[in-house]
Chains A and B, each alone.
Chain A
Amino acid sequence: MFSFCSDPDALDTVRWFSCYLTTGVHMSFYVAFFKVLLLLAVTAPVALGFGFLGAMAARSHFLPLRWFGKAYISLVRGVPDIVFFLFFVIALDQAFEWMRHQVLCPGWDQPIWQGNDFIVCQAAKLPLGTSPQWMHQTYGFGLAVITFAIVFGAFAANVLFGGMRAVPRAQLETAEAYGMSHRQTFWRVLVPQMWVYALPGLSNLWMVLIKATPLLFLLGIEDIVYWARELGGTKTPGFTSFPHGDWRMWYFLFLLIFYLGFTRVSEVVLESLMQRLTLGQATAGGEAQRKAVPR
């Protein structure tokens, strides 16, 4: 990257490292950090949305919808963690391809499952065999996002369901006494008040979500774990101008510190958010804040 990088063998330590850490592959490593942040930025709102819908369904007055919501919550929460991640990506992939197969290749007469193989027509392949490399990567990333959102959506649904139930009954009765309809009570009284009850659970979930991001590696995404393994491995002089021994330990130490810093920052931000949400609420925390304000 720098002009003095043309001959790495002649450099002193500081310059050598400044060149080494700015090579093209290292740029891919840094981009992978943005992939993690992107995954979090996309997954968190989508999972929260899934969770909100799930919680609404679970407390619906319409029986089948209520069953659906409760089944979603307990099914996803009951199945062991990582198995779900490995299973869901392949299952979703096959489901998409199967649906496209039904639409795009109506004249197909062979069975789709031939023994142990899953075979759909060429036009139904996702992404198409002819599409460029970045399409394949984006598709894989998209599947990962959906999987994360479904799994964490169920957990968020459970937290939000609990939060909705924790809102004092008297608040809702007051709203009804003022003549609000069910919908108005829900949106104007219940939803604004439930967050303070749901936030401890949600922040816990956010921490778990941060710590689940390295699983992208298992789903075949070129994420930070992948690059740390690639870059840290022993490099011999024949293949690179920056030879070094086995540095994977240092790369993973760096990842460890990255995650520790990330969770620490999240803790601080969530704590201040909690302080703001508590303001004016009918809880012990809100009461303490009210008394602390000098009048």
Chain B
Amino acid sequence: MSCVQTIQDYGLRSLGFGERLLPREGFTLCEQFTLIGSGIIWNVYFGALALAAGFLLATVLAVAKQSHNRWLRKPAEWFIFIFRGSPLFIQFFFAYFLFLSLKGASSFFNPFTSAWLGALIVLFLNTAAYTGEIFYGALRSIPKGDIEAADAYGLSGWTRFRRIIWPTMLRLAWPAYTNEAIFLFHATTLVYFSGFPAWQQKGDALYYASYFADKTFNPFVPYPIVAFYFILVTLGIIAIFGAVNKRLNQHLPQEARRKLRIRPQVIR
């Protein structure tokens, strides 16, 4: 079977298209590359959507945590502490079994027990908490002069936030936020290892990699393939976030611009 045929059969296997049965023996390198590559689609799906939704909630959380009103500050502090203080792995398990119990009470919760929604919600809340803390730190380190200048121009309230505080916060937070984005994409590998079942063998990259590793007793091929794909994804994130970083810093003199420093981290 040629490699083109394999790609046609398994290229979209993780979404349920193409050949139904996974390869069972005589695993070729092409099959491993194709299936693991099709699994990456799910990682990108989880990462991109959680990041986009988490960004909005994180902004709200950061503003709430900085607020002087304790009815706003305390819930934000607790939210951030709960999601940053416990392992994502346990959060996945807890959420899965919580949704499973809720499913028994009402059929409205049926989709929540499948990974595409349930795991996405957990990832969304988790990244919102981590990003919220980053944004909060950035809010606190906005130069005093910037805010005073805004006041002097007669900006206040919402206008001041939208025109001055928010863009400066993003600019200061962006290098750390880039790391958080990379970190989140790495964390998407946990989805199929933590409760949420892979229905009809539609899984993510690591799901297929461990399938191959179990079948062949050889971890030296599938896991490096996963690593390869993740390095590609990481480079993509760095390119996109780097472009945004440039945009955010474009008004500054050359030497005052903040460079992106990529610091990968282990599991959260």
A positions within 8 Å CB-CB of B: 77-87, 90-91, 113, 116-118, 151-152, 155, 208, 210-215, 217-218, 225, 228-229, 232, 246, 248-249, 252-253, 255-256, 259-260, 263-264
Chain B residues with Cβ below 8 Å from A113 are 218
Q: Does B94 contact A (CB under 8 A)?
A: yes
Chain B residues with Cβ below 8 Å from A85 are 267
What's the least CB distance linking B120 to chain A, in Å? 19
Which of B12-20, B150-158, B166-174, B209-217 forms contacts with chain A? Answer: B209-217
Residue of A nearest to B102 (CB): A249
Chain A residues with Cβ below 8 Å from B100 are 246, 248-249
Selected A-B contacts with CB under 8 Å, 8 pairs: A81-B187, A83-B189, A117-B217, A118-B217, A212-B266, A229-B93, A256-B90, A260-B85
Q: Does B65 contact A (CB under 8 A)?
A: no
Contact A260 B189 (CB under 8 A): no
Contact of A86 among B101, B219, B230 (CB under 8 A): B219
Chain B residues with Cβ below 8 Å from A249 are 94, 97-98, 100-101
What's the least CB distance linking A260 to chain B, in Å? 5
Contact of A211 among B27, B88, B186 (CB under 8 A): B88
Would you give the 0/1 interface string for B112-151, flagging 1 where the beta carbon is closer than 8 Å to chain A? Answer: 0000000000000000000000000000000000000000
What's the least CB distance linking A34 to chain B, in Å? 18
| Given A246-B97, A256-B90, A116-B216 contact (CB < 8 Å) | yes
Contact A225 B98 (CB under 8 A): no
Which of B45-53, B56-64, B220-228 forms contacts with chain A? Answer: B220-228
Contact B94 A252 (CB under 8 A): yes
Contact B86 A83 (CB under 8 A): no
Main secondary structure of the interface of A (DSSP, over half): helix
Chain A residues with Cβ below 8 Å from B249 are none
Residue of B nearest to A204 (CB): B265
Chain A residues with Cβ below 8 Å from B186 are 80-82
Residue of A nearest to B98 (CB): A249
Cα–Cα distance between A253 and B101 once the two chains are bound (Å): 13
Contact of A79 among B98, B218, B227 (CB under 8 A): B227
Chain A residues with Cβ below 8 Å from B90 are 214, 225, 252, 255-256, 259
Contact of A212 among B189, B220, B267 (CB under 8 A): B267
What's the least CB distance linking B187 to chain A, in Å? 8
Cα–Cα distance between A225 and B266 once the two chains are bound (Å): 19
B positions within 8 Å CB-CB of A: 27, 81-82, 85-91, 93-94, 97-98, 100-101, 186-187, 189-190, 193, 206, 209-210, 213, 215-220, 223-224, 226-227, 230-231, 234, 263-268
Residue of A nearest to B205 (CB): A83
Chain B residues with Cβ below 8 Å from A77 are 263-264
Contact of A81 among B189, B213, B217, B219 (CB under 8 A): B189
What's the least CB distance linking B97 to chain A, in Å? 4
Chain A residues with Cβ below 8 Å from B89 are 211, 214-215, 217, 225
| Given A211-B86, A215-B89, A116-B217 contact (CB < 8 Å) | yes
Chain B residues with Cβ below 8 Å from A90 are 213, 219
Chain A residues with Cβ below 8 Å from B81 are 260, 264
Contact A208 B93 (CB under 8 A): no
Chain B residues with Cβ below 8 Å from A259 are 85-87, 90
- Counting chain A CB atoms within 10 Å of each CB, which of B217, B224, B231, B267 scores highest? B267
Contact A81 B86 (CB under 8 A): no
Q: A117-B217, A252-B93, A260-B86 are in contact. List 17 more A-B contacts (CB 8 A).
A: A77-B263, A79-B227, A83-B230, A86-B210, A90-B219, A155-B265, A155-B266, A211-B87, A211-B267, A214-B90, A215-B89, A225-B93, A256-B90, A256-B94, A259-B86, A264-B81, A264-B85
Contact B217 A80 (CB under 8 A): no
- Counting chain B CB atoms within 10 Å of each CB, which of A211, A213, A229 scores highest? A211
Cα–Cα distance between A121 and B82 once the two chains are bound (Å): 50
Contact B267 A81 (CB under 8 A): yes
| Given A80-B227, A83-B206, A208-B264 contact (CB < 8 Å) | no
Residue of B nearest to A90 (CB): B219
What's the least CB distance linking A208 to chain B, in Å? 6
Residue of A nearest to B218 (CB): A116
Contact A87 B219 (CB under 8 A): yes
Contact of B97 among A151, A215, A232, A264 (CB under 8 A): A232
- Counting chain B CB atoms within 10 Å of each CB, which of A151, A152, A263 scores highest? A263
Chain A residues with Cβ below 8 Å from B219 are 86-87, 90-91
Contact B218 A118 (CB under 8 A): yes
| Given A86-B223, A90-B219, A81-B266 contact (CB < 8 Å) | yes
Cα–Cα distance between A252 and B216 once the two chains are bound (Å): 33
| Given A81-B189, A83-B230, A86-B219, A208-B97 contact (CB < 8 Å) | no
Chain B residues with Cβ below 8 Å from A232 are 97
Chain B residues with Cβ below 8 Å from A256 are 82, 86, 90-91, 94
Cα–Cα distance between A246 and B189 once the two chains are bound (Å): 26
What's the least CB distance linking A251 to chain B, in Å? 8
Contact A215 B85 (CB under 8 A): no
Residue of B nearest to A89 (CB): B219
Chain B residues with Cβ below 8 Å from A152 are 266
Contact of B267 among A208, A217, A252 (CB under 8 A): A208
